[in-house]
Every structure is written in C-alpha cells, then in structure tokens.
Amino acid sequence: QKEVEQDPGPLSVPEGAIVSLNCTYSNSAFQYFMWYRQYSRKGPELLMYTYSSGNKEDGRFTAQVDKSSKYISLFIRDSQPSDSATYLCAMNGGTSYGKLTFGQGTILTVHP
Amino acid sequence: AAGVIQSPRHLIKEKRETATLKCYPIPRHDTVYWYQQGPGQDPQFLISFYEKMQSDKGSIPDRFSAQQFSDYHSELNMSSLELGDSALYFCASSLVGQGLSSGYTFGSGTRLTVV
C-alpha cells in the first residue's frame, strides 16, 4: 500500500465549477502538506503549503488538512480552463531537507 | 528569477548505454533532490544532497549514482540503461530552513527514452 493515496480522476468540469481534490495518507510522521500543479512536460509547481490541521486560503484555492483522519483536500473555486493540469499532493516528515512523498496525481480538465 | 536548470531536456539512449543528467539549482540553494516520474506515475524520490553530502536516499537503483559538486550543481549518472528507466527525471532545489514553507523548486525535467 502506498503511503499517500490520491483520487486518480480524471476530472472534467465546466468553467466556474468548484473542484475538490483529495488525498489520504498512512504515515503519521507526515507533518507538512503541499499541493503541486503540473502542466504537461513541465516540473511540478507549488500551489499551497500547510502545516496544521484546518483550512488555508489563497485566492481561489483552499487547502484543508485533517490530521486526525489523515486526509487532505484542495478546493478550487470558480475553476478556469487555465487550471487544467495534473494536481499532485505531496507530504514531508518534517525535516527541513527531507524528501517529498507524492500522491499519484489527479488530471483535471476545465472546459469552457 | 532564476530557476532550476536541467540539461539535457531530452535524451535518447540505447539499452546498456550510460546517461548523465545535470541539474543547476537556484543560486544559494544548498539542497538538491532527484525524482523519477514514469508515464502516468507520481514522482518517486531517488536521492538528495545537502551541502554536497548525500542527505537521503530513496528507490535509486545501484546502477545509478549521483553527486553534488562544489558549485552545488548535481549530476545523476545512469549506467546499464534498461527500457524501464525511460521516464522524466526532475531535479528540485531548496534552501534548508526555507524548503518546506516555500516548497521545493522543480526544474522542467529531462525526458529520458531508452530504446
């Protein structure tokens, strides 16, 4: 079993929809949680970073962490065609130079 | 702003050949990470270096080796290439103490195709 499981999708939504992306994890040592966006043939780009349980909002994006359930989510409001990409959740055990463990990624398509 | 530079962007090699991938981190970043991403797969951690010393090791085959040089650039050497080594290889860099809050900055990757 993978340490991080991510709903694989793919997801296809109309422009303006609210998108929900989810990951669960099994390793209690994970302390830092990130969401990356990856466009085709590009490297992952950091979208959101969270540490504590709760919500963190940045523009149209909201990251949610529930450590008791080992569950994280990313919500995208008012989705745009430019949001079409692969979204990867990633986690780290807390060391400042530690590796990231990624989920499998969810392919999102927002159609006009 | 300067980003993580990887070279080459694309590489085609035959089975059993050797490949060398290069990574130039963001200036002043002291940590480099290598990830392998197969088709439709999530990035898998291979190895990392902090201040030119190996800091962590993941699922890196014995056929692969890597090092970080005095100018902080890193090279991933891959020998006896196999078809299964075909993947996108990403390098990321960070600055200890800032790496987590700012995330790691990834390069655009080297696409290795083994034929």
Q: So what's the pLDDT on residue B77?
A: 97
Q: Which of A36, A96, A104 sits opposite B100 (nearest CB)?
A: A96
Q: So what's the pLDDT on residue A94?
A: 60
- Whether A100 contacts A90, CB under 8 Å: yes
- Identify the segments of chain B with pLDDT beneath 50: none
The tokens describing B72, both together, are 């902080």
Q: Strand A106-111 relative to strand A11-14: parallel, antiparallel, unpaired? A: parallel
d(CA B28, CA B111): 26
CA triplet A11, B41, A22: central angle to 5 degrees? 40
Q: How far is B98 from chain A (nearest CA, A)?
A: 8
Q: 3-state DSSP call for residue A112?
A: coil
Q: So what's the pLDDT on residue B1?
A: 63
**In a mutagenesis test of the B interface, which of A97, A101, A107 is the best target, namely the one with the most B β-carbons within 10 Å?**
A97
The tokens describing B25, both together, are 């981190």
Q: How far is B27 from chain A (nearest CA, A)?
A: 17
Q: How far is CA B34 from the centre of its chain?
A: 3
Compute the Cα dihedral for B36, A108, A78, A20 and give only its sign: negative
User: What distances in angstroms separate CA A44 from CA A47, B4, B69, one per listed residue?
Assistant: 9, 12, 24
- Identify the segments of chain A with pLDDT beneath 50: none
Q: How far is CA A55 from the centre of its chain?
A: 13
Q: So what's the pLDDT on residue B103?
A: 67
Q: Which of B41, B90, B96 sits opposite A43 (nearest CB)?
A: B90
Query: For the residues of chain B, what is the DSSP string, one character each?
Result: ----EEE-SEEEE-TT--EEEEEEPPTT--EEEEEEE-TT---EEEEEEETTEEEEE-S--TTEEEEE-TTS-EEEEE-S--GGG-EEEEEEEE-TTTHHHH-PEE---EEEEE-
d(CA B9, CA B88): 9
d(CA A71, CA A69): 5
